[in-house]
Amino acid sequence: MNKLLRDKKAIAIFVLPAFLLFTFILFIPICQSVYYSFCNYDALTKPKFVGLKNYKNLIIDPTMVTALKNSLFFLIFSCVSQLIMGLILAGLLTNIKKGRNFFKNVIYLPCVLSSAALGLLWMFIFSPKLGINQILQKFGMEGPLWLMDINGFIILPMWVIAFVALWQYVGQSMMLYMAQISGISTSLYEASYIDGCNRVQAFRYITLPLIKPMVGTAMSLNAIGSLKFFDLIFNMTEGGPNKMTHVLATHLYEQGFKYFKYGYASAIGTVLLVLCLIMTFLINKVFKSDDI
């Protein structure tokens, strides 16, 4: 049996197809992309090494600054809001019996739907004269230009999109927390109630510490998801008005596939990649440690 399980030829047959695919479609292109980010490269020319030129242009590109700001806002907002809302929903749902499955399934539903389609829907709901503003008008109020207002450090459209993203994806965090909470033994809670804890205290001193590793997992999913964020923005604002709602992903798409600045877009991609790796590393460091 040992011989059977150490069969080198079989292992190669099992692993190599996926391994080669992974190497050619993912690993080599990543390396190429990092290399291109140091090159002058567009649709007409061959890549030519120019050192840090693309990165120097990135720093002085106002759209890049906006995109980075918006992406970081998104990152922080979705990590914090999904943590809080996800925990509240999971906490409430594990405490009720009737209708638990119904509420759970309804809240998770948008996660599986096409965010391109939902983006179009929300674009309509937040358009200047229709949707929400039509309702507000009936009450004699004039609604703001939800997706076009450009005042403030974080402009209104970004908040709107961030809330839509929270609406769509909070179900995922909630599910993960619920799975972890339902794995906690009830005897722990019973013991704490005997010792005089109330439900809020039990949540604080038993549930929270025990789901800490899951918080890390859910948060790194959130962080990477929000850095990759593309569909909703593309269909709700396309980066406008005045390029104020660009995030890294939409900026990369526009530079790379509208203006065909491959080298420059690769530099944006590299920034994105580095941010993803840093966030994964940081979150793992903070949440996967053993101390409670």
Partner 1 sequence: MNKVVKFLIYLFLSITAIIYLAPLVWVFFVSFKTNKEIFTDPFGLPKSFFIDNYTFAWTAGKLGIAMSNSLFVCVITLILSLFLGSTVSFAIGRMRWKISGLVLVYFMTGMMIPVHCVLIPLFTRFAKIGLSNNLWGIILPYLTFSLPTTIFIMTGFFKGLPNELIESACIDGCNIYQIFLKICLPLAKTGLFVTGLMTFIANWNELLLAMVFISDDSKKTLPVSLSKFVGPYNTNYSQMFAAIVIAIIPTIIVYCLFSNQIVEGLTAGAVKE
98 half-sphere exposure, CB direction, 13 A CA radius = 0
Q: Evaluate the CA torsion angle 250, 86, 117, 120 in order and state its sign.
A: negative
Among 45, 105, 185, 242, binds partner 1 (CB under 8 A): 105
Question: Which residues touch 97 (CB under 8 Å, ≥6 apart)?
Answer: none
Angle at CA of residue 280, ends 185 and 118, nearest 5°: 85
Here's the x/- map for partner 1, 19-38, by CB under 8 A: it reads as x-xx--xx-xxx-xx--x--
Q: Is 241 helix (H, G, I), strand (E, B) or coil?
A: coil
Nearer to partner 1, 121 or 188 (CB): 121
- 107 makes contact with partner 1 (CB under 8 A): yes
Token pair recorded at residue 180:
């972890």
Among 50, 257, 259, 285, binds partner 1 (CB under 8 A): 257
- 176 makes contact with partner 1 (CB under 8 A): yes
Neighbour-count burial for 109-134, b at 16+ CB within 10 Å, e otherwise: ebeeeebeebbeebbebbbeeebebe
Nearest distance, CB of residue 153 and partner 1, angstroms: 26
Here's the x/- map for partner 1, 178-207, by CB under 8 A: it reads as -xx------------------x--------
Nearest distance, CB of residue 92 and partner 1, angstroms: 5
Token pair recorded at residue 55:
């990165």
132 to 161, contacts with partner 1 by CB under 8 A? 134-135
Among 122, 126, 146, 169, binds partner 1 (CB under 8 A): 122
34 to 63, contacts with partner 1 by CB under 8 A? 36
- 82 makes contact with partner 1 (CB under 8 A): no
Taking CA atoms, 198 is separated from 94, 150, 191, 194, 203, in Å, by: 16, 47, 11, 10, 9
Which stretch, 48-56, 58-66, 68-76, 247-255, contacts partner 1 (CB under 8 A)? Answer: 247-255
- 277 makes contact with partner 1 (CB under 8 A): yes
Helix ranges (H only) for 126-247 are 132-138, 156-182, 186-194, 199-202, 208-210, 212-228, 231-236
Nearer to partner 1, 128 or 153 (CB): 128
- 210 makes contact with partner 1 (CB under 8 A): no
Which stretch, 52-60, 128-136, 153-161, 204-212, contacts partner 1 (CB under 8 A)? Answer: 128-136
Helix (H) or strand (E) holding 49, with range, is strand 48-49
